[in-house]
Structure 1
Amino acid sequence: MSDLLFRFLHAADFRLDTPLHGVAEVPDAISRWMIDAPYVAAERVFDAAIQEQVKLVVLSGNLLDLVEPHPRAICFVRDQLARLAGHGVTVCWAGGVRDGGGQWPASIALPPSVHHFQAAAVDTLALEKQLEFPLTVVGRSGGENTAIRASDFFVEARESFLVAVTCGEADGAVLAMQPIDYWALGGRNERKTLATEPHTVHYPGTPQGRQPMAVGPYGCTIVDILASRQVRLRFVSCEAARWQHERVLVSSGTVWEDLEQKLAERIQDLRAQQPNGPLLTRWTLVATDVAEDPAVWRELRERTDKWLRKQAASQSDPCWPLAVDVEIPDRITAASYKEDTLLGDYLRAIRQLQDSPQPADLSAVSALGAGVPEMQWVTDLSDPAVRAQVLQEAAEMGAALLRGEKMV
């Protein structure tokens, strides 16, 4: 660690006002977790700052909604920022569209150690005195759909390590070529480093995934400034509840006791990765063969779901099964797509959607579920993986119905 000169924490996109969603049914105990999870995850970010003994925390966008504020969110942010101030931590906060500088309630004072950037213009803060390290922060509040213009963040501070903090869409290659050592960005849920050479451009992502497709760990980033003026990034997991998607191979002749053992081992592995808090898990039984009677899969799926729910009920930190699906080998032949039948027409329409980069028009379906988060998730096909899965399932389900087959 002798090459370490300075350390700070970078976090973003708390979205305290947005609870976990996209789930049709969960027990009351887990629903309470889903409501509180954004706050618990955000508090773990501040815990990490104190545990790591950093002198600077950089927050880049979308912490809370200050346009339609919720008292709980405002009190939480105020208390956590005061907590950092009590440990001598300086905070630089560039908001998004709904939490920019000037939107914070004037009647609720923030600690003097908090710098909340405005959206109107880029501001420059020389923090060498506070941090006892030559570091300058240039920042401006922005918006996740706003392109970040590198030229706006020009500053002359050759001897100082330069950090730019803002929220928006970035061209990593362009930003990396600017004389900014570290771009602390916000405005996206997924953690991503756009560039590391010659300078680093980084989104830490949200500390808490919000819906079933947000699989895997979420958290914040510890940034180490090295003697070479390069940075070393270290991920810190913060989420209160983790979304998972587990795929388990099964055959039509699977003995239940063998599958039960396999499921138990998988749950044990998941719990080793995330010791505390609920695991919200989608399970997919991947069929390795085609059963003569489709009812085999339906019965296996129902038994698996029942067993998983029973296991979750006995756990203090449950691995709750959001859904159990069966993935059956594709039985749609190439000849089916050429048929001069309703089936052929349907499959060709699906293929056209699969081959087109344009999203499917689901406005009519979305309108039916207006204001319902679960429906918004179902009709959101912006994720390529989700889009491919939904269209493939639509092809198989439609083909089975048009052939008059039993549905699993």
Structure 2
Amino acid sequence: MPGESFRFIHAADFHLETPLGDLDSLPPHLRELMAEAPRKAAAAVFEAALVDNIDFLVLSGDLLAPQAAGPHGMALLLDYFDKLHAKKKPVFWTAGIADDPAKWPDAVPLPPNVTLFPKNRAVSIPVERAGRTICNVIGRSTDGRSVLHVPSYRTDPTDEYTVAVGYGSADANALAEGRFDYWALGGDHNREEIDGGAEGAAIYCGSPQGRSLEESGAHGYSVVDVDADRTTRVHSIETDVFRYCRVKLNAADINAVGGIRNVMGERIVRLHHEHGGRNLLIGWDISVSNDDSLLSIGDSDELLSWVRREYGHGSPSAWTCQLKVRPPRNYPKSWTDEDTILGDFLRAADKHRKLDGRDLNLAPFTEETSAITSTTATLLAEVSSSARADLLDEATLLGVELLRGGKPNLVQKT
């Protein structure tokens, strides 16, 4: 027998207590907007849930840590919960690690339309519209496990469409054992669909606002449409105010457009177009040529200052939060064979590289100044084996640039 069509929103991982990350400083002109970005993204979810054609809201954990988010964060949730209550819209909340129900203050009761699922068992609740059940929602707050415990969701079979709300990692096989129509999952800040995890869909909807370069790309929530034949359609809605982007460049990219600054400018224009004119937080990963040419980008700090100054103050902004230059492993043989300081330097660097930097000893350099603390001296002197190669490559590139005159933005060919 056909059921009723309905629509709901699935959101998770607001983390209202956590600011934007991967920032070495807060640019003054973006400070207020950055501070408000997580709240604005979360507010966009609630504003969408207040629309008349949304039947209920599902929240899959880690909305906020009450003590860390403080009254400001809690007030946002409570205000919107009250607005949803006034419109008779149910809210189903499975708590994660950050929003453990035990951390919610007893003196701050939740409105009656909000179901905060318990930690010790799964609870199934029918959702009604005009006196008729349109679906069931079953959920359980996490008991602290990082893995979702699907067996605890077992309930008596029902003919109603069932939405399961859970927090924690799970694969398709584990989720499929629940035999639910839709898994509303939380705990992963990046959106992911688990193929085969449910009859309709199994979705980690991700956080409404990314917080780091590890969370690059679009962020938002899901609108789920279920028709009378139980066909499920999921629509991803973007809410992020700032979007983290990773950009990799190599010598071929830079040579093609005539210099590092040209290619960075072109990529920023393209990113603004691709991401709908949002404010961008960019991490650049630049690989210097390792064949018979050497790309000299100059002082990376100066390049960072330039790209921030040139593109970080517009509207929308493209702020560079990270710029990493990966040095080459091989330099032109003619440079190494030179009877010059540069040649001596490259031969010494090559010797250290063949030994994987095992003979590097920075201790004598720490003794040349009294300004270095004992802790800093220890860190400099005891370079870990995993960091030696990177340290040697970066030091070699710096030395080459200085000995060749530090000319920025040139491709040197032999």
> In which range does the TM-score fall when normalised by the shorter chain?
0.7 to 0.9
What does 1:1-20 align with in structure 2 at a 5 Å threshold?
5-20=5-20
Computing the radius of gyration from Cα coordinates, the structure with the larger value is 2
Note closer, same or farther for the CA distance 1:130–1:103 as it changes in structure 2 (3 Å cut): farther
Note closer, same or farther for the CA distance 1:53–1:395 as it changes in structure 2 (3 Å cut): farther
Q: Name the structure 2 match of 1:206.
A: 207
Q: Name the structure 1 match of 2:317.
A: 318
1:165–1:184 Cα contact (<8 Å) kept? yes
User: Which amino acid letter does the alignment assign opposite residue 282 of structure 2?
Assistant: T
1:308 aligns with 2:302: no
Q: Name the structure 2 match of 1:49.
A: 49
1:88 aligns with 2:88: yes
Q: Name the structure 2 match of 1:247.
A: 248
Task: Tell me how far apart the structure 2 counterparts of residues 51 and 176 of structure 1 sit (CA, whole Å).
Answer: 32
Q: Name the structure 1 match of 2:392.
A: 398
Partner of 1:70: helix, strand, or coil? helix
User: Which amino acid letter does the alignment assign opposite residue 389 of structure 2?
Assistant: A
Q: Aligned Cα RMSD in Å? A: 3.7
1:30–1:278 Cα contact (<8 Å) kept? no
Task: Tell me how far apart the structure 2 counterparts of residues 345 and 399 of structure 1 sit (CA, whole Å).
Answer: 13
Of 348, 353, 356, the match for 1:346: 356
Q: Name the structure 2 match of 1:151.
A: 151
Note closer, same or farther for the CA distance 1:130–1:209 as it changes in structure 2 (3 Å cut): farther
Q: Name the structure 1 match of 2:405.
A: none
User: Which amino acid letter does the alignment assign opposite residue 8 of structure 2?
Assistant: F
How far off its partner does 1:43 sit? 0.8
Q: Name the structure 2 match of 1:331.
A: 330
Note closer, same or farther for the CA distance 1:293–1:163 as it changes in structure 2 (3 Å cut): closer
CA deviations over 1:97-148 (Å, ceiling 9, x no partner): 3424454333333222111111122212111347855211111110574332
1:125 aligns with 2:122: no
User: Which amino acid letter does the alignment assign opposite residue 217 of structure 1?
Assistant: A
Normalising by structure 1, we get a TM-score of 0.75
The count of corresponding residues between Structure 1 and Structure 2 is 360
1:66–1:99 Cα contact (<8 Å) kept? yes
2:356–2:388 Cα contact (<8 Å) kept? no
Unaligned runs of 5+ in 2: 332-349, 360-374, 377-384, 403-414
Partner of 1:305: helix, strand, or coil? helix
How far off its partner does 1:236 sit? 0.9
CA deviations over 1:28-54 (Å, ceiling 9, x no partner): 232333322211111111123234831
2:353–2:389 Cα contact (<8 Å) kept? no
Identity rate, percent: 26
Note closer, same or farther for the CA distance 1:55–1:255 as it changes in structure 2 (3 Å cut): closer
Note closer, same or farther for the CA distance 1:291–1:324 as it changes in structure 2 (3 Å cut): farther
Q: Name the structure 2 match of 1:221.
A: 222
Bigger Cα displacement from structure 2, 244-253 vs 142-151: 244-253
Task: Tell me how far apart the structure 2 counterparts of residues 35 and 281 of structure 1 sit (CA, whole Å).
Answer: 18
Note closer, same or farther for the CA distance 1:312–1:51 as it changes in structure 2 (3 Å cut): farther
Task: Tell me how far apart the structure 2 counterparts of residues 75 and 407 of structure 1 sit (CA, whole Å).
Answer: 54
CA deviations over 1:352-398 (Å, ceiling 9, x no partner): xxxxxxxxxxxxxxxx99xxxxxxxxxxxxxxxxxxxx96x863442
Normalising by structure 2, we get a TM-score of 0.74
How far off its partner does 1:250 sit? 4.3
Note closer, same or farther for the CA distance 1:6–1:162 as it changes in structure 2 (3 Å cut): same
How far off its partner does 1:322 sit? 1.6
Unaligned runs of 5+ in 1: 333-339, 350-367, 370-389
Note closer, same or farther for the CA distance 1:126–1:282 as it changes in structure 2 (3 Å cut): same
Task: Tell me how far apart the structure 2 counterparts of residues 180 and 256 of structure 1 sit (CA, whole Å).
Answer: 52
What does 1:18-33 align with in structure 2 at a 5 Å threshold?
18-33=18-33
Task: Tell me how far apart the structure 2 counterparts of residues 262 and 160 of structure 1 sit (CA, whole Å).
Answer: 55
Task: Tell me how far apart the structure 2 counterparts of residues 72 and 29 of structure 1 sit (CA, whole Å).
Answer: 23
Note closer, same or farther for the CA distance 1:82–1:407 as it changes in structure 2 (3 Å cut): farther
User: Which amino acid letter does the alignment assign opposite residue 318 of structure 1?
Assistant: S
CA deviations over 1:145-184 (Å, ceiling 9, x no partner): 4332222111224221111112122232122132221121
Bigger Cα displacement from structure 2, 305-314 vs 19-28: 305-314
Q: Name the structure 2 match of 1:173.
A: 173
Task: Tell me how far apart the structure 1 counterparts of residues 267 and 19 of structure 2 sit (CA, whole Å).
Answer: 27
User: Which amino acid letter does the alignment assign opposite residue 120 of structure 1?
Assistant: N
Note closer, same or farther for the CA distance 1:128–1:404 as it changes in structure 2 (3 Å cut): closer
Q: Name the structure 1 match of 2:343.
A: none
User: Which amino acid letter does the alignment assign opposite residue 35 of structure 1?
Assistant: A
What does 1:90-129 align with in structure 2 at a 5 Å threshold?
90-101=90-101, 103-129=103-129
Note closer, same or farther for the CA distance 1:146–1:254 as it changes in structure 2 (3 Å cut): closer
Note closer, same or farther for the CA distance 1:394–1:52 as it changes in structure 2 (3 Å cut): farther
User: Which amino acid letter does the alignment assign opposite residue 114 of structure 1?
Assistant: V
Note closer, same or farther for the CA distance 1:236–1:256 as it changes in structure 2 (3 Å cut): closer
Q: Name the structure 1 match of 2:297.
A: 297
CA deviations over 1:272-324 (Å, ceiling 9, x no partner): 23345521112234445658777x3225x556434422233541321112233
1:252–1:289 Cα contact (<8 Å) kept? no
